Amino acid sequence: MSFLQVNNLSVFFPIYKGLFKRVSGHFKAVDNVSFELNRGEVLSIIGESGSGKTTIGNAILGLLAPTSGNIIFNSSDIKKHLFQGRIQAVFQNPYSSLNPRTNVLSIVGEPLLQLRPKTSRDELIKKVREVLETMGLDPNSINNYPHQFSGGQRQRISIARALISEPELLILDEPVSSLDVSIRAQILNLLSRLKKERNLSYIYISHDLATVRFLSKKIIIIYKGRIMETGGVSDIFNNPKNPYTQLLLKSAIEILVEAEKPIRETSETGCPFYERCPVANGICSKTFPQIKQIKENHYVYCHNS
């Protein structure tokens, strides 16, 4: 069995209208998504803003309850067990994800104290210094505050906080998008090294195709909560089959596509990319396409591919 299995995951949010706030429909943030992740792998989830990438990550972290489907981590349903410390997250903006009133010792050490409340202060200081040194930070900076660090250093602190509990899986939600280009390379190299040293598995959420190509081996393309195409990096970049994938690749680093409509009613059954697809036909508006295998480990959801 795979290290992580996401089976037919759907996350819907109610839409309220009227004076009495009655439910008039549902916003399908994630709709019938399935994938697997093996230990030590990096899986990238790609899509424009609002496509459902972060919702998938939050569901795996247990921050959102699935409307339907399940998530299996190490052979156990994630809803029935508390995987404290074994799944951690690194968020997009290190300026907002770190408490400005808390020093580095408290920020980095908090997950360890949650996992092991009886940890002595001396042991805590030792562990925090060790993980800071692994991040390339001064281990004597434990009493400093976030405003005393650069953006890249703050993200290293965020990674240190995630790693101190010795997790097996990291959810990386746009971890370099708010950093300068030169700093991005440093953080990506750090993440690549840590994966090898600690046999970590990553789910890398991004819309930056350049960083995805550097870090991962497997890719999921998602649009309006639905998977449009999956495959290895070389398959997706060299032989994209879904028109939406082709559009993303044409945009190179930044995704330059029009904003999606924010509300999708539950009655929609066709391809979510239908209205913008250059090769769409009648069946595309009525039925979501069945999965089609292009080659080993390369699959597409498209009537016309």
- Rounded mean pLDDT of the chain? 88
pLDDT value of residue 262: 43
Does the residue 95 lie in any domain? no
Number of domains in the chain: 1
Mean pLDDT of 233-241: 92
Does the residue 19 lie in any domain? yes
Does the residue 182 lie in any domain? no
Does the residue 292 lie in any domain? yes
Does the residue 105 lie in any domain? no
pLDDT value of residue 250: 79
Does the residue 181 lie in any domain? no
- β-pair type (68-73, 76-77): antiparallel
pLDDT value of residue 181: 81
Mean pLDDT of 85-90: 90
pLDDT in tens, 175-199: 888 788 888 889 999 999 999 999 9
pLDDT value of residue 4: 93
For residue 226, list its beta bridge partners: 223
Q: If pLDDT is split at 50, 70 and 90, which confidence band does 97 have?
A: confident
In Å, what is the CA distance from 98 to each residue of 91, 146, 203? 10, 7, 21
Mean pLDDT of 268-291: 87
Q: For the whole model, what pTM was predicted?
A: 0.86
268-274 long-range contacts, Cβ below 8 Å, gap at least 24?
A: 268/28, 271/226, 271/301, 271/302, 271/303, 272/223, 272/224, 272/225, 272/226, 273/223, 273/224, 273/228, 273/242, 273/243, 273/244
Whether the predicted pLDDT of 209 surpasses 90: no
Q: If pLDDT is split at 50, 70 and 90, which confidence band does 82 have?
A: low
Q: How far apart (Å, rounded) are the C-alpha atoms in residues 300 and 40? A: 25
pLDDT value of residue 156: 94
pLDDT value of residue 261: 43
pLDDT value of residue 278: 87
Mean pLDDT of 129-136: 94
Q: What percent of the chain has pLDDT over 70?
A: 92
Whether the predicted pLDDT of 253 surpasses 70: no
Does the residue 92 lie in any domain? no
CATH number, domain containing residue 48: 3.40.50.300
Domain region containing 43: 4-86+169-176+200-301
Mean pLDDT of 103-130: 93
Q: Give the number of other CB atoms < 10 A from CB of residue 150.
A: 12
Mean pLDDT of 14-43: 90
Whether the predicted pLDDT of 257 surpasses 90: no
Mean pLDDT of 126-151: 94
Q: Which two tokens stand for residue 13?
A: 């949010």
Does the residue 222 lie in any domain? yes
Whether the predicted pLDDT of 64 surpasses 50: yes
Q: If pLDDT is split at 50, 70 and 90, which confidence band does 70 have?
A: very high
